[in-house]
Structure 1
Amino acid sequence: MKTLVNIRRDLHRIPELGFQEYKTQAYLLSYLHSLPQENIEIRKWKTGLFVKLNGTSSQKMIGYRADIDGLPIEEETGYSYRSVHEGMMHACGHDLHMTIALGILTHFVHHRVKNDLLFIFQPAEEGPGGAEPMMHSEAMKEWKPDLITALHIAPELPSGTVATKPGLLFANTSELFIDLKGKGGHAAYPHTTNDMVVAACSLVSQLQSIVARNVDPLDSAVITIGKITGGTVQNIIAENSRLEGTIRTLSTESMLKVKERIEAIVKGLEIGYSCQASIDYGAMYHQVYNHEEVTLEFMNFVQEHTDADFALSKEAMTGEDFGYMLADIPGFMFWLGAGSSFGLHHSKLSPDEKCMETAISVMTKYLAFKDDR
């Protein structure tokens, strides 16, 4: 059987975008079918998988989720096992996430516990979002866990570190797309046009006032416009422009307030610049909120019963659609130190593969501990 490192490298070669993870699903199924099948049930869900390990005398079910999709990033790691899919990369560590899940699953195939274990290989975490629709699937309705856990690699933390906190861990996030339509024309006759490049520039400035003047200073919010497109050539005034960005808040109330203000500002822009505007919020992710009692239990367990180095996290403005699962099922997510000089979503992300051993050791011990509770 292949080593975990070999599995991770195989998966690293074949990153696929959300709901296109066909090779990834096939690879996972091939591995799963190589294991003893007596106590395994497998169900496909779109390009993801539910894998249930039946316990010896189940009283409850514990879930473990791993995301499986890649990102539209051209890899620049220099790995001998770099991505074979042009313009795509596992730049968020999901190749490690899957491998860790397989390692934990394999352990419990050979070391059965009383309770059922459900491993969820979730597609489309990076977009358009797989967790929320997966929660509404027939498999989840039948196999809904009593507790659910997940991890995410943290390149900035040393390998071998586990970090988390009770309460808010990841922010509420929403994509933001604003399209503006005015009237184009010759650059020499600006008075006969409604210039959407000028309108877009004005809108960017106005959007930045929302966080400064409409969000409680004791709360936190971010509005970032990462891309602006508009116009055709240098001597034609632009009839159309498009702004693409992201909204991130530490409370659901602030997310609602930010969106209300965006919509009000855009309505004002339509009047002021004699244009038409449309807003699309794209993918929206619920905050990752760790349930206090079970998270504190896990934190104490890591410090008292494992060799991992524990660190107390701070909340982050990153987004994770695992929040939809935690909104309905008690549980927690934690950071796994991966010791890379380059961060998440970077074309040179190079996590220390030894971190997988830490995660598998911690989680196999913890799930065995929960089996006696």
Structure 2
Amino acid sequence: MGNGMVENIVDLEAELIAIRRHLHQNPELSNEEFETTRFIRGWLEEAGIEIIYDIPLKTGVIAEVKGKEEGPTIALRADIDALPIHEETGLAFASRIPGKMHACGHDFHTASILGAAYLLKHKEKELKGAVRLVFQPAEEKGAGAKRILESGALEGVQAIFGMHNKPDLAVGTVGIKSGVLMAGVDGFQIEVEGLGTHAAVPDAGIDPIVTASHIVTALQTIVSRNISSLNNAVISVTRIQSGSTWNVIPDKAILEGTVRTFQEDVRFQIPGHISRIVEGVADAYGAKATLHWYPGPPSVQNDEVLTELTIKTAVQLGLNVVTPVPSPAGEDFAYYQREIPGSFVFMGVSGPHEWHHPAFDVDERALTVSAQFFATLAKNALDQWRAADQADRNSSSI
């Protein structure tokens, strides 16, 4: 495993399956991907692919395949972290680590982009520029992409491409659309402070549980009454914690939840709406409530020109192109798109379950489909940039 040699597509498929299964058996959580980083470096080095070591990253790998001709730099990104989920697939290569699992398919992403790197290495003489390979940590924490940007790993990159596997799309199908593809993700915590008392004499205290319950109900009116019906938003309270026994009204209640939006203006409106409701409801019940807001990645917004190129590449390879419904899930790939033109696609994997399910799996035939797609896409992007640059020079010399 890991010799990086690509004699034919059968050899490539066997190589990528072995890599994916090795990663699947050895999952590491966000910011803990030390062995995963070591594995990736080893596979790249054995293939003769240059690793950029002077990037200040504790985990994750940045590498590059350079063509013989000078030209732009295009980036391909894969995420490498796993989730704190106990695996229930029954696979022969299931996770060896209890409570940790590649339940979102980042092992598939990593193996696929490694495959693209192998293919590009074998075609490097034909490349009109360079392809930077980004194996990003901590996507599940929503902060890995920011760390990559802060490290300077994408300096000089003209465009970036990435993907997420999509279990409900068949192998050989790619979901591609311009504009919004995935939601912006924000989190919140609400602390409700009341006054504890014996449960038999509630009038002697201020019940934070009753107050919190009314806050949960009132929050649902934001989407139905404050957000235009032409826009989208989801506000979900996902945790309520209060009290420790059956006959005591506690002093405090904690609420946590998430907000998902597609439009930036809606995203910026919601914290104000939540704060108004939280403070107003708490005041009505004599309690005090504080909102803590945790902004996450913005929505994934695909560049129109690059998305046209991804469609042309998929058609060139005989893949089935569909226009996907935007996903309310989030992706920190969106941070890259704030700085660099980018396009993100959904790769069909014929999976039996959705992301984050303990029995999540992918059809491994999608590995070579994905590797070939991203290798071809990178080459096409370099060719398109070179052609556009040449046209600009010709026009300026007239």
| TM-score (normalised: structure 2) | 0.89
Post-superposition offset of 1:232: 0.3
Q: Which has the larger radius of gyration?
A: 2
Tell me, what secondary structure is at the counterpart of 1:136?
helix
Letter of the 2:83 counterpart: L
Structure-2 residue corresponding to 1:138 = 152
Tell me, what secondary structure is at the counterpart of 1:146?
strand
Deviating more after overlay: 94-103 vs 180-189: 180-189
Structure-1 residue corresponding to 2:11 = none
Structure-1 residue corresponding to 2:26 = 14
Structure-1 residue corresponding to 2:8 = none
When the two chains are superposed, the root-mean-square deviation of aligned CA atoms in Å is 1.5
Native 8 Å contact 1:184 1:195 kept in 2? yes
Q: 1:367 and 2:378 equivalent?
A: yes
Structure-1 residue corresponding to 2:395 = none
Letter of the 2:356 counterpart: H
Letter of the 2:66 counterpart: N
Native 8 Å contact 2:87 2:359 kept in 1? yes
Native 8 Å contact 1:43 1:49 kept in 2? no
* Structure-1 separation of matches of 2:47 and 2:184: 38
* Structure-1 separation of matches of 2:303 and 2:162: 13
Structure-2 residue corresponding to 1:220 = 232
Post-superposition offset of 1:201: 0.9
Q: 1:233 and 2:245 equivalent?
A: yes
Tell me, what secondary structure is at the counterpart of 1:19?
coil
Q: 1:296 and 2:303 equivalent?
A: no
Deviations 1:44-94 (A, max 9, x none): 512112112222122100001111111111111111211122212111110
Q: 1:276 and 2:288 equivalent?
A: yes
Structure-2 residue corresponding to 1:210 = 222
Native 8 Å contact 2:113 2:374 kept in 1? no
Structure-2 residue corresponding to 1:332 = 343
* Structure-2 separation of matches of 1:184 and 1:241: 11
Deviations 1:84-113 (A, max 9, x none): 222121111101001111111112222202
Post-superposition offset of 1:197: 1.4
Deviations 1:203-242 (A, max 9, x none): 1100000000000100010001122111101111122211
Distance verdict in 2 for CA 1:139–1:363, change over 3 Å: closer
Post-superposition offset of 1:372: 2.3
* Structure-1 separation of matches of 2:349 and 2:211: 43
Distance verdict in 2 for CA 1:325–1:93, change over 3 Å: same
Post-superposition offset of 1:4: 0.7
Structure-1 residue corresponding to 2:367 = 356
Q: 1:311 and 2:322 equivalent?
A: yes
Distance verdict in 2 for CA 1:184–1:264, change over 3 Å: same
Q: Pick one of 67, 83, 90 that aligns with 1:71.
A: 83
Native 8 Å contact 2:174 2:348 kept in 1? yes
Structure-1 residue corresponding to 2:48 = 36
Post-superposition offset of 1:337: 0.6
Letter of the 2:45 counterpart: H
* Structure-2 separation of matches of 1:131 and 1:154: 21
Post-superposition offset of 1:42: 4.0
Deviations 1:105-135 (A, max 9, x none): 1122222023111111111111142112321
* Structure-1 separation of matches of 2:210 and 2:322: 47
- The structure with the greater share of residues assigned to helix is 2
Native 8 Å contact 2:306 2:343 kept in 1? yes
Aligned 1:112-261 pairs, distance under 5 A: 112=124, 113-140=127-154, 143-261=155-273
Letter of the 1:116 counterpart: A
* Structure-1 separation of matches of 2:102 and 2:292: 27
Between Structure 1 and Structure 2, how many residues are aligned?
369
* Structure-2 separation of matches of 1:17 and 1:247: 23
* Structure-2 separation of matches of 1:316 and 1:347: 20
Distance verdict in 2 for CA 1:274–1:58, change over 3 Å: farther
Native 8 Å contact 1:177 1:281 kept in 2? yes
Native 8 Å contact 2:160 2:342 kept in 1? yes
Native 8 Å contact 2:79 2:110 kept in 1? yes
Post-superposition offset of 1:171: 1.2
* Structure-2 separation of matches of 1:230 and 1:15: 34
Tell me, what secondary structure is at the counterpart of 2:52?
strand
Letter of the 1:219 counterpart: N
Structure-1 residue corresponding to 2:71 = 59
Native 8 Å contact 2:61 2:136 kept in 1? yes
Post-superposition offset of 1:256: 1.3
Q: Percent identity?
A: 33
* Structure-2 separation of matches of 1:367 and 1:67: 18
Structure-1 residue corresponding to 2:106 = 94
